[in-house]
Amino acid sequence: MITKEQWDKIENDLTGMFASVKFQYGEHVLNVARVRTGEAKHELMVYVDGYIKGPWHIPDHKDFLPVIKDVWRIRKKAQFSPQRKAKMIKSLGKRLAKSTFGYMDKVTIYYRPDFTTAKSLVRQYKKLEGLTLIEREEVAAP
């Protein structure tokens, strides 16, 4: 169990430029590190057992890791934007639009290993049961 003081320290550590925190969740080790994702953009990436693999992004994939649902961000993408759906319904009519584009209301769910802020990561991770912090060993300078 991680205490409130530890959560505050974790959040403070993750806001820094060279952030790195390790957690144990079930049988998996989670490494959270600040990574450069663009020219002037840095995000927190969550590595599960040291990896980020492509099949883990899609819940329907045969190699999907169930722990991903708990430790990565859920994202949803609609097949069509509300404006495009309204335009299709207006031009075709509701019945014809629904029969022609049966997948019009379909929403794709996928998971992302990146968090833009430390606060959002901490907020999600506080809800996890059985999450423990792996303390870093302090190394003295020679």
Task: Write down the pLDDT at residue 135.
Answer: 76
One-letter-per-residue 3-state SS of the chain? CCCHHHHHHHHHHHCCCCCEEEEEECCEEEEEEEEEEECCEEEEEEEECCECCHHHHCCCCCCCCCCHHHHCEEEEEECCCHHHHHHHHHHHCHHHHHHHCCCCCCEEEEEECEECCHHHHHHHHCCCCCEEEECCCCCCCC
Task: Write down the pLDDT at residue 141.
Answer: 56
Task: Write down the pLDDT at residue 46.
Answer: 95
The two tokens of residue 3 are 């205490």
Task: Write down the pLDDT at residue 142.
Answer: 65
Task: Write down the pLDDT at residue 29.
Answer: 93
Task: Write down the pLDDT at residue 18.
Answer: 85
pTM score, two decimals? 0.83
Rounded average pLDDT per 10-residue block, the chain, 142 residues: 90 88 92 91 93 91 93 94 94 92 91 94 93 72 60
Task: Write down the pLDDT at residue 69.
Answer: 94
Q: Domain limits of the chain?
A: 1-71+114-135, 73-112
Task: Write down the pLDDT at residue 138.
Answer: 54
Task: Write down the pLDDT at residue 136.
Answer: 67
Task: Write down the pLDDT at residue 140.
Answer: 55
